[in-house]
Structure 1
Amino acid sequence: MKFLISNDDGIHAPGLQALYQALCVVGEVIVVAPDSEQSGCASALSISQPLYTRKSESGFIAVNGSPADCVYLALHQLYSDINFDCVITGINSGANLGQDVLFSGTFGAALTAQLFGIPAIATSLVGGAIRGDGQDNTSQYQMAAEEIVKLLTETPLLEEMRRLPYHVLNVNIPEVHSAKDIKGRKITCLSHSLLAKPVHHVVDPRGRDAYWLSLRKGVSSSLLNKGLVLDNALNNEMLDKETETATGQPVKPADNNEPLSYVTDEEAVAAGYISLSPVRLHHTPASTLDQLSALAL
């Protein structure tokens, strides 16, 4: 198998190193990543300035741009002659749960790959940030990387992702001490949590107002999560039609008598499970189209 990997924590991040080492055991791996941290840049592309590349001592290609820039450049110029089996981004230092995927550079890079028809997986380690002693817990990243390899080699997940156009799989590894503490895997929907304090206002030493934007979560909104499940149900028919058109494979209708019950990504990792959230792009809800079409516009 041939893999392209990138991240938003920068080319020297321990999560990227761990992912590279683990994937090298099962396939050919090429790394194209930002030369510095690019967290929170989503799928931004640099279209008003040139991009430059350099090869690091490890052989990784560093780019002076966003994670999406890295994937875009790799697919269309640097390695345009390679047919990658999968683009994997991460392993992100910290969770990417719920609405965070809208801002995540890790997710944005994976999204860029899927726009061009390549199976894409965004990976994150919950609680993977720098520890209090100033050192990264590299063993946890290694454990997370090994779990990602298991997903690719011990399950039919990658083959199934090839049949799902315009989907990105968002994977979160729970914060546990070792792999034996992981309780299993859960297919999840994205959660939605209220932000504790979206903006922090401070005054700098020169007396100027300054603002720190924050995605730190407050209490999860169960009402919004239920709304996500309902929205998913309303759009199943439209999704099935899109998938059948893109793949040529008929989709078995869902059992309407089966109760809807989806665990959220936040709930899954909190309980010690690996969260696997399929996120669909080009999401135009059929019910919303019907509702707005009925208006006299």
Structure 2
Amino acid sequence: MKFLISNDDGVYAPGLLALYQALSTIGDVVVVAPNSEQSGYASALSVTTPLHTHELPSGFIAVNGSPADCIYLALHELYRHTRFDYVITGINSGANLGQDVMFSGTFGAALTAQLFGVPAIATSLVGGGAKRGGQEQVSDYQLAANEIVKLLAETSLLDACKNLPYHVLNVNIPDVNHADEIKGRKITSLGHRQVARPVHHVIDPRGRDAYWLSLRKCKHELPEKTEDMPSSAIQLTDDQAVAAGYISLSPVRLHHTPAAALDSLSALAL
């Protein structure tokens, strides 16, 4: 198999390296990623400035653009004669849950691949491995990468993705210390939680107003389970699944206009 991978944390991010190393055990891997962090860029393309590439000693290609730029450039120019089986993005430093996919560069890169017919999976590590004093641990990303490889090697997920055009599979790995703490995998829907504090207003050292945008959510709640309801019957959202210790797998469909919406709006006198 041939994989193209990218991310929004930058070409030097530990999650990207862990994903590359793990996927290299089951296929050929090409890396094209931003030369600096591009979190929050969604599927933005650079159409007013030129892109430049730089090959690192590792063979990774760094691009002075967004995650979507990287995939766009790789598919249509840098590796235009290569047929990739899958594009896998990440491993993102931090969760991409619910409405976060609208802003995530990691998800946006996967979305770009699907627009051109390449099956795509966006992967994230909840908590970003920021444990033990706030320091990122390479081992956390290695654990997550191994879980992604197991997901691909031990299930029919890849074949299923090929049969879902215009879908991106959004994968979130719970932040655990050991693989045996992961309870399993759950197919989930995208959740939606209110942002706790969308904007942080501060005064910078020169006395000017400054604003930090935030997507940090309010506390989640797990659904209640009745005595006659088996655990398998509970439909979890992505944030609920990872909070309960499961790997969340959310199929996200693109370019979908619901028939009910068309019927409702068509009935209006315009």
TM-score normalized with structure 2 length: 0.93
Give the fraction of aligned pairs with identical amino acids, expressed as a percent: 73
Deviation at 1:212, TM superposition (A): 0.7
Residue 275 of structure 1: aligned partner: 248
* Rounded Cα–Cα distance in structure 2 between residues aligned with 1:55 and 1:9: 17
1:38–1:129 CA distance, 2 compared to 1 (3 A): farther
* Rounded Cα–Cα distance in structure 2 between residues aligned with 1:84 and 1:52: 22
- The residue identity in structure 2 corresponding to 1:290 is D
SS at match of 1:127: helix
Mapping 1:223-262, distance limit 5 Å: 262=235
Deviation at 1:262, TM superposition (A): 2.4
Deviation at 1:152, TM superposition (A): 1.1
* Rounded Cα–Cα distance in structure 2 between residues aligned with 1:219 and 1:125: 18
Q: Is the contact made by 2:221 and 2:240 (CA closer than 8 Å) also made in structure 1?
A: no
Extract structure 1 runs of 4+ deviating beyond 2 A.
Answer: 129-135, 219-222
Mapping 1:71-150, distance limit 5 Å: 71-131=71-131, 133=133, 135-150=135-150
- The residue identity in structure 1 corresponding to 2:89 is T
Residue 165 of structure 2: aligned partner: 165
Provide the alpha-carbon RMSD of the alignment. 1.6
Q: Is the contact made by 1:192 and 1:221 (CA closer than 8 Å) also made in structure 2?
A: no
Deviation at 1:282, TM superposition (A): 0.6
SS at match of 2:201: strand
Q: Deviations over 1:107-164 (max 9, x none)?
A: 0000000000110000000111544646321111111101111111111110011111
Deviates more, 1:150-159 or 1:131-140: 131-140
Count of aligned positions: 261
Residue 36 of structure 2: aligned partner: 36
- The residue identity in structure 1 corresponding to 2:81 is D
1:167–1:275 CA distance, 2 compared to 1 (3 A): same
* Rounded Cα–Cα distance in structure 1 between residues aligned with 2:43 and 2:26: 28
Q: Is the contact made by 2:183 and 2:245 (CA closer than 8 Å) also made in structure 1?
A: yes
Residue 264 of structure 1: aligned partner: 237
TM-score normalized with structure 1 length: 0.85
1:294 counterpart = 2:267: yes
SS at match of 1:295: coil
Residue 244 of structure 1: aligned partner: none
1:261–1:134 CA distance, 2 compared to 1 (3 A): closer
